[in-house]
Amino acid sequence: MIDDDEDDQLMFCDALNEINSSVECAVVNNGQAGLDYLYHNPPPPDIIFLDLNMPIMNGYECLTALKQQDSYKDIPVIIFSTSSSPVDIAKTKKLGADVFITKPNDYDALRAKLGNIINSDYSMS
């Protein structure tokens, strides 16, 4: 998970652990830290959840960098943002995001959305 909001990080990892306790939830605070983490911690993850509005390197910049690198371009990227703007959704899809999720306001809704992702075609073990 690449997101600068500590509350969102905690809630996300708790929900993910509740859905599947064998899934490792690694968290970094911005796009540059995400790219650094990927470079220094092989193998690449099965999926990346990416916020849009972050300091240092935002989600658009990080998504662009991920999709330009052969090692990471095929990793599914799920945008996980407070935005629900059709412009943001279209822009991230054009940049290569697989799914756009607007951050839910409650834990049960988050758990349900994450459950749908984990139970889809994405490989999370």
Distance from C-alpha of 27 to C-alpha of 13, rounded to nearest angstrom: 9
Residue 118 is predicted with a pLDDT of: 81
CA dihedral angle for residue 78, residue 80, residue 84, residue 88, rounded to 10 degrees: -60
Question: Token match 């969102």: residue?
Answer: 8
Q: Residue range 94-105: average pLDDT?
A: 93
Residue 119 is predicted with a pLDDT of: 77
pLDDT grade for 39, boundaries at 50, 70 and 90:
very high
pTM, entire model? 0.90
Q: Residues near 85 by Cβ (< 8 Å), separated by ≥ 6?
A: none
- Residue 124 in any domain: the answer is no
Q: Name the residue range of residue 67's domain.
A: 6-118
Distance from C-alpha of 113 to C-alpha of 105, rounded to nearest angstrom: 12
User: What's the structural domain count of the chain?
Assistant: 1
Question: CATH number for the domain including 106?
Answer: 3.40.50.2300
Q: Is the pLDDT of residue 51 over 80?
A: yes
- Residue 18 in any domain: the answer is yes
Q: Residue range 90-102: average pLDDT?
A: 95
Residue 105 is predicted with a pLDDT of: 86
DSSP 3-state of 102: strand
Residue 124 is predicted with a pLDDT of: 38
DSSP notation for 38-85: HHHSPSPPS-EEE-SS-SSS-HHHHHHHHHHSTTTTTS-EEEEES---
